[in-house]
Structure 1
Amino acid sequence: MKHRAIGAVLFGGGVLLLALAAGLVFVVKPAVTKLPYDLKPATSVAEAKGATFLQITNGTIAINQADLRSTVLVSPNRDLTGKLSGDLDGKAVVWTVGQTVDRTDTKELINAYGAELALDRVSGAALNWDGQWLDDTGERQRIQFTEQVYKFPFGTEKKDYKIFDRDLRADTPAKFTGTENVEGIEAYRFEQVITDQALNLDAERVKLLLGSLAPGATTGKVVYSNTRTVWVDPVTGSYLKVREVQRKNLVPDVGAPAVLLNADFSYNDETVASSVERAKESRGQLTLLGVYAPIGLALLGLLLIAGGLLLARRGAAAPVAEARHRADLPPAADPTPTRVDQPAVRDEDRPGGPLTDEIPPASTNWKSDDSTVPTQRSAPDADEAEKR
């Protein structure tokens, strides 16, 4: 009985561990493969050596050359995320993003922008949200962010994606071009190529540029090109490294084009190292919850179930064996003696002499006519009396 009770406890514990393992795989892991609400703000820095760029100082337009430093700060907006409703409630997170581009020599601000957008917590793609905006001209504009913007999906695949380009206000394809090791992580490399696309700029802004850089021109356009390469951690979808080779030209209707921007921006070493470290930490959590912990719990659960079944079988077999043992035992000795069991009695030990119980004593009241049978002699005293 004791074996059965212990076996039942072990079996129940094993089943519970198997349920926990399944819960980690099908409930906990999907819950953590999402952008968290409490994401820590992240800063990425890209640098461009010897860049050519447009600089406006106190209304004066000039084309200068220097090293540039681009800093992007991404912060989760908990207040706005908490106010999301409808299809976005629980599905999206709101990010507030800001970027500044400075000269590294004089620390002067060259340009800046800010934005707010809602991202799908699993795919990382921008969602349709009424509160999104972009400000890169000094005034907030309502635009529609689409596709991937600042990250790729959890479980990024080896296929083409689309990346939203802030200058174009639209998304264009980013082709998967292979894998590459980035400080110990096998990253997926994607390349987005934008070639000579006319930007939709305010007419007054274009006119201002023409007056300073293309005298005599009455109309013109700004043509934009960019080769954007992103190295993505396929597990978390986060950017490990980014490189953008940007070029903007003012093309007037009269005269030669003027270079407004020619820069090759790449994440610096510190940003790559911190991006890789965050990715490794997230990978470790996902691997622990999605692989190691479930496997360990499942194995332990199976061992407990097997042990419980063995103990239960042993407990069931014990009473049967005991019953068989009792059935095989000889019957208890009968205390009542039988004739066979009684000790033999010798003739000399009998109280009446030999054969006393079998043959009666001879009678003196009969005589035999048979000569073969001896007669009983009379006593001497009787003979003397007769003679007399």
Structure 2
Amino acid sequence: MRSRVTHAVLLGLGALALVFAAGLAFVVGPRVNQLPYDLERTQTVAEAPNATFMQITNGQVAVNTGTLRSTITVSPDRAQTADLEGDLDGKAVVWVVGQEVVRTDTNDLVSAYSTALALDRKTGAALPWDKQWLDTGSDRQEVDYSGQIYKFPFGTEKKTYQIFDRDILATQPAVFVKTEEIEGLSTYQFTQEIRGGRQEVPADRLQILLGQLIPGATSGQIVYNNTRTVWVEPTTGQYIKVQEKQEKNLVADSGQSVRILDATFTYTDDTVASSADRASSNRQLLQIVTLWAPIGLAVLGLILIAIAIVLASRRGGRHSSPAAVASASSGPKPVKTSS
């Protein structure tokens, strides 16, 4: 009787372990592989030593040199996320992002922007949303975001992705280059090349720049080049390191030009270390839920079922069937012969 109970318990536990393994792999796993609603506020810092940059102070335009520090802050907007409707409901999260660039010697503000956008929770790509906006300091304007901006997809692949550039308000391809180890993590390196881009600036501001930097010029444009390199942890899609080699020239229609930006921004060592630490923790959690826990439960379930089968076979071998016993006891009796 006890062996029958043990067999039933082991068989039930084994089946239950297999059910939980399947649930983790096919139900819980896909839900974990996406941006959470309760994301914590994060900051990344990049510096550009020996930079050439334009600075406007009290209406006066000057081209200066020095070290620049860029700080980008990402904050989830839970209220806006909760108000998403239609196809975005449950699929997207709303982030509010701000950047400030200061010169490190005086801490004076050089440039800033803020923006709100909706991101796909799985791919990290921007989604169409009628309430997205961009404010570069002059006024808040509508913007049509697309492609990757602040994050790559969960399960990033070795292929080309489209990264949105805020200066040209368009996407350009970022090509997979190689795998590189950073802070003990294997990362995918992607490079985006922007050449001859045109930065959109308000007409009145452009006239101020031309009037002070290229006197006599009546029209022109800002020509923008950037080599953007991102190192991505592929499981989480998080940026571990970012470098941007930016160049901007104010070009008058007469052909005259002035370099107004020449800077290479690179994540600071502290930012790289903290980014790697967050990505490592998130990757371990994802791997436990989506890989190791399902495998462990599946193996445990199969072992329990195998033990139950072995116990059942042994019990059957120890006890002969009633028919066999009856056959043995009713066999032919020896025949007596007369002497």
TM-score bucket (shorter structure):
over 0.9
Shift of 1:81: 0.5
State the one-letter code of the partner of 1:305: I
Deviation string, structure 1 residues 260-300 (Cα, Å, up to 9, x no partner): 11110000000000111111101101111122211211111
Shift of 1:311: 2.2
Question: Match for residue 262 of structure 2?
Answer: 262
User: Helix, strand or coil for the counterpart of 2:140?
Assistant: coil
Distance of 1:133 and 1:45 partners within structure 2: 23
Deviation string, structure 1 residues 101-146 (Cα, Å, up to 9, x no partner): 0111101111100000000000000000011000013311111110
Distance of 2:314 and 2:254 partners within structure 1: 99
Question: Match for residue 376 of structure 1?
Answer: none
Question: Match for residue 170 of structure 2?
Answer: 170
Tell whether 2:54 aligns with 1:66: no
Question: Match for residue 10 of structure 1?
Answer: 10
Distance of 1:255 and 1:214 partners within structure 2: 10
Question: Match for residue 25 of structure 1?
Answer: 25
Range moving further from structure 2, 172-181 or 162-171: 172-181
Question: Match for residue 240 of structure 1?
Answer: 240
What 5-or-longer segments of structure 1 have no aligned partner?
A: 332-339, 341-388
Question: Match for residue 251 of structure 1?
Answer: 251
Shift of 1:325: 5.6
Q: How does 1:132-147 map to 2 (within 5 A)?
A: 132-147=132-147
Query: Percent identity at matched positions?
Result: 54
Shift of 1:194: 0.6
Question: Match for residue 335 of structure 2?
Answer: none
State the one-letter code of the partner of 1:9: V
Contact kept in structure 2, 1:7 and 1:310, CA below 8 Å: no
Distance of 2:226 and 2:143 partners within structure 1: 21
* TM-score, normalised relative to structure 2: 0.94
Shift of 1:199: 2.1
User: Helix, strand or coil for the counterpart of 1:119?
Assistant: strand
State the one-letter code of the partner of 2:207: K
Root-mean-square deviation (CA, aligned residues, Å) is 1.8
Distance of 2:184 and 2:271 partners within structure 1: 15
Question: Match for residue 104 of structure 1?
Answer: 104
Contact kept in structure 2, 1:99 and 1:114, CA below 8 Å: yes
Question: Match for residue 284 of structure 1?
Answer: 284
Question: Match for residue 122 of structure 2?
Answer: 122
Distance of 1:274 and 1:189 partners within structure 2: 18
How many residue pairs get aligned? The number is 332
Shift of 1:324: 4.6
* TM-score, normalised relative to structure 1: 0.82
Range moving further from structure 2, 32-41 or 315-324: 315-324
User: Helix, strand or coil for the counterpart of 2:215?
Assistant: coil
Distance of 2:4 and 2:183 partners within structure 1: 55
Distance of 2:114 and 2:299 partners within structure 1: 51
Shift of 1:182: 1.1
Question: Match for residue 195 of structure 1?
Answer: 195
Question: Match for residue 334 of structure 2?
Answer: none
State the one-letter code of the partner of 2:18: L
State the one-letter code of the partner of 1:223: V
Question: Match for residue 345 of structure 1?
Answer: none
Deviation string, structure 1 residues 322-352 (Cα, Å, up to 9, x no partner): 7756765699xxxxxxxx9xxxxxxxxxxxx
Distance of 1:130 and 1:255 partners within structure 2: 40
Contact kept in structure 2, 1:236 and 1:282, CA below 8 Å: yes
Distance of 1:185 and 1:313 partners within structure 2: 49
Larger strand proportion of the pair: 2
Distance of 1:246 and 1:73 partners within structure 2: 20
User: Helix, strand or coil for the counterpart of 1:25?
Assistant: helix
State the one-letter code of the partner of 2:106: T
Q: In structure 2, do the counterparts of structure 1 residues 243 and 312 end up closer, same or farther at CA, with 3 Å as the change threshold?
A: same
Contact kept in structure 2, 1:214 and 1:254, CA below 8 Å: no
User: Helix, strand or coil for the counterpart of 1:49?
Assistant: strand
Contact kept in structure 2, 1:214 and 1:255, CA below 8 Å: no
Deviation string, structure 1 residues 73-125 (Cα, Å, up to 9, x no partner): 00111111011010000000000101000111101111100000000000000
Question: Match for residue 93 of structure 1?
Answer: 93
Deviation string, structure 1 residues 180-216 (Cα, Å, up to 9, x no partner): 1111111111111111222222221111111100111
Find the structure with the greater CA-based Rg.
Answer: 1
Question: Match for residue 311 of structure 2?
Answer: 311
